[in-house]
């Protein structure tokens, strides 16, 4: 070789070694070069995000920790161009919509572009950019971790979104451990599928989402024209349209009818079924409320199902083999034992101004013949004005005032209080109502201790349970069949038979009874679910929580879209 060519050869070799360009052949130097690139892409704190390629990537703790634990070695390939688990990951990510999840935030377009480049290098056995491999590796790991988190605990945090109204114990997966195990076992798809909530309530609602999406894709259902209230025996051209509408939502078995304009028989039964499924009065008449629900667009129902799948992800997968569940939006309570509903009853929940919160607790005791302690807000707004107007109000309604502190717990005489100056803040004691048929807590209350002072209780106002909309309480839950619930909770205690229970329910003095078997209590909020007979149910949104959640998810989607767009623009500006 002539000496004149030696400097040129060494120069070319140095350029190749110093640049981030490597040949598609497996070797340790190549893997180390990719690892160095990954470490450079993931700066340590205080950086919260990094511009990688054309996208800003949030540097949450799990992503950097995952690579730190592996000394920043590439996770998704063992040699340049060899990506055995990527197809599995992308297959799962592209089906995220089946769980009502957005694919925004996974940077799928960027992943596909990088993957195209890397595969091009491999198939043509040419030089490729190790930075592209590093970027691809990081984006794949980020997408896995984000999807794992979304599957298990949802896309938004309800504790932030509904501050004070929602207390969810989110069971976040250890994404680093899950991802590491998935790659080691070469089972990325299986690892992510295992994070999908496995309860039948979630899986059945997920199936309904697919069914309703197919209906949406086919054009949805027809709108029933407005008109006079349809009642059994009426003849109306709109009945044919109504048959089509109810058939499409599986409320009517067949479109065939002797007279398609006559409103009777199977079509009336179908309307009753529809009304029951939507929390309407099942009177069989198609009035304004029923017509409004019939004409809700299919897109609204799809969205409603998506929102409730998100809510289900906020709950633990297993609510307990034995538990009490209150669905606030359905105004109902059910007792579940070994997966079977053994008791079901209507309830009354908080008003829209005093909403019943969503949380879980553990019922540990009952209190028969309870006192009712008047909350400060009711004292200030309701009781004090009445007492000032009529000093006999306290005795006439069986109230007494127990001092907050001091050696004596004897009631304070009303004459000792300056009622014109006293407020709820300066009130000298607890205003409480004595046990009896006048007491708003009825004969028994069911306690699962919590700092919100929320519990279940009986009520003397039986007529409220006949109303469809039962947002009437100050936050606690009134149950229709308190005696039956008490009997169920005490059935394992041999000291409590029917006679003793009857005596306790009719006593005049309070009695606390500890449960031998405490039971989990879940206060929930679902406006769409699948019942035990496999029928999808929809309910109105009394607290307008669907709307709040929908806005939050839309903003999340928009933020990801805007971030991707602004990142691309910034990258272009940097290149220029």
Active site residues: 457, 476
Q: Measure the CA–CA gap between 383 and 396, rounded to whole angstroms.
A: 13
Q: Are 48 and 159 in contact (CB under 8 A)?
A: no
- Give the full edge-to-edge strand order of the sheet including 429-433: 372-373, 429-433, 399-403
Q: Measure the CA–CA gap between 142 and 139, rounded to whole angstroms.
A: 5
**Long-range contacts at 335-338 (CB < 8 A, ≥ 24 apart):** 335/485, 335/488
Distance between terminal CA atoms of the chain? 43
Radius of gyration of the chain (CA): 32
Phi, psi at 82, each rounded to 5°? -95, 105
- Asked whether the CA dihedral 101, 550, 540, 311 is positive or negative, the reply is positive
As given in the structure block, the two tokens for residue 200 are 């039948």
Query: 202: helix, coil or strand?
Result: helix
Please report where in the chains the tokens 């450079």 appear, as a residue: 40
Q: Measure the CA–CA gap between 59 and 76, rounded to whole angstroms.
A: 19
Give the residue among 523, 505, 478 at the shortest CA–CA distance from 366: 505
Q: Measure the CA–CA gap between 286 and 35, rounded to whole angstroms.
A: 67
């Amino acid at each position: 070789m002539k000496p004149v060519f030696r400097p040129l050869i060494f120069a070319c070799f140095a350029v190749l070694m110093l640049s981030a360009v490597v040949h598609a052949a497996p070797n340790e130097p190549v893997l180390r070069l990719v690892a160095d690139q990954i470490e450079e892409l993931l700066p340590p704190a205080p950086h919260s995000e990094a511009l990688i390629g054309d996208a800003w990537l949030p540097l949450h703790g799990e992503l950097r920790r995952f690579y730190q634990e592996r000394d920043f070695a590439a996770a998704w390939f063992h040699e340049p161009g060899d990506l055995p688990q990527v197809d599995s990951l992308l297959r799962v990510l592209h089906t995220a919509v089946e769980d009502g999840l957005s694919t925004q935030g996974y940077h799928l377009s960027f992943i596909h572009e990088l993957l195209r480049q890397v595969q091009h290098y491999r198939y043509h056995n040419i030089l490729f950019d190790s930075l592209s491999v590093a970027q691809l590796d990081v984006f794949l790991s980020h997408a896995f971790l984000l999807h794992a988190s979304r599957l298990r605990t949802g896309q938004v945090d309800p504790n932030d979104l509904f501050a004070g109204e929602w207390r969810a114990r989110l069971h976040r997966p250890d994404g680093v451990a899950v991802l590491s195990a998935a790659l080691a076992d070469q089972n990325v798809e299986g690892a992510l599928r295992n994070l999908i909530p496995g309860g039948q309530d979630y899986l059945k609602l997920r199936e309904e989402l697919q069914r309703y999406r197919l209906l949406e894709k086919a054009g949805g259902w027809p709108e029933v024209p407005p008109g006079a209230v349809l009642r059994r025996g009426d003849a109306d051209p709109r009945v044919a349209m109504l048959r089509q509408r109810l058939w499409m939502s599986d409320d009517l078995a067949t479109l065939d009818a002797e007279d398609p304009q006559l409103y009777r028989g199977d079509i009336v039964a179908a309307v009753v079924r529809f009304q029951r499924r939507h929390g309407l009065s099942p009177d069989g008449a198609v009035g304004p409320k029923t017509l409004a629900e019939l004409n809700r667009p299919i897109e609204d129902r799809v969205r409603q199902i998506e929102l409730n799948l998100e809510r289900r992800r906020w709950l633990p997968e297993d609510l307990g083999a034995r538990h009490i569940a209150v669905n606030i939006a359905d105004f109902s309570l059910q007792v579940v034992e070994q997966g079977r509903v053994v008791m079901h009853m209507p309830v009354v929940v908080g008003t829209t101004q005093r909403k019943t919160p969503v949380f879980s607790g553990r019922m540990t005791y009952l209190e028969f013949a309870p006192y009712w302690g008047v909350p400060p807000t009711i004292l200030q707004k309701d009781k004090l004005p009445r007492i000032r107007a009529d000093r006999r109000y306290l005795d006439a309604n069986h109230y007494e005032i127990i001092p907050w502190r001091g050696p004596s717990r004897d009631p304070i005489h009303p004459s000792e209080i300056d009622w014109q100056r006293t407020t709820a803040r300066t009130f000298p004691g607890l205003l409480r109502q004595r046990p009896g048929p006048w007491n708003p807590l009825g004969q028994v209350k069911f306690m699962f201790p919590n700092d919100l002072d929320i519990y279940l209780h009986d009520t003397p106002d039986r007529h409220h349970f006949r109303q469809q909309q039962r947002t009437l309480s100050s936050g606690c839950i009134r149950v229709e069949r308190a005696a039956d619930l008490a009997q169920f909770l005490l059935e394992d205690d041999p000291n409590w038979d029917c006679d003793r229970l009857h005596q306790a329910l009719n006593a005049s003095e309070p009695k606390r009874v500890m449960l031998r078997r405490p039971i989990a209590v879940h206060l929930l909020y679902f406006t769409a679910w699948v019942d035990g007979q496999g029928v999808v149910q929809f309910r109105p949104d009394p607290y307008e929580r669907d709307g709040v959640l929908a806005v939050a998810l839309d903003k999340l989607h928009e933020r990801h879209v805007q971030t991707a767009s602004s990142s691309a623009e910034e990258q272009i500006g940097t290149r220029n």
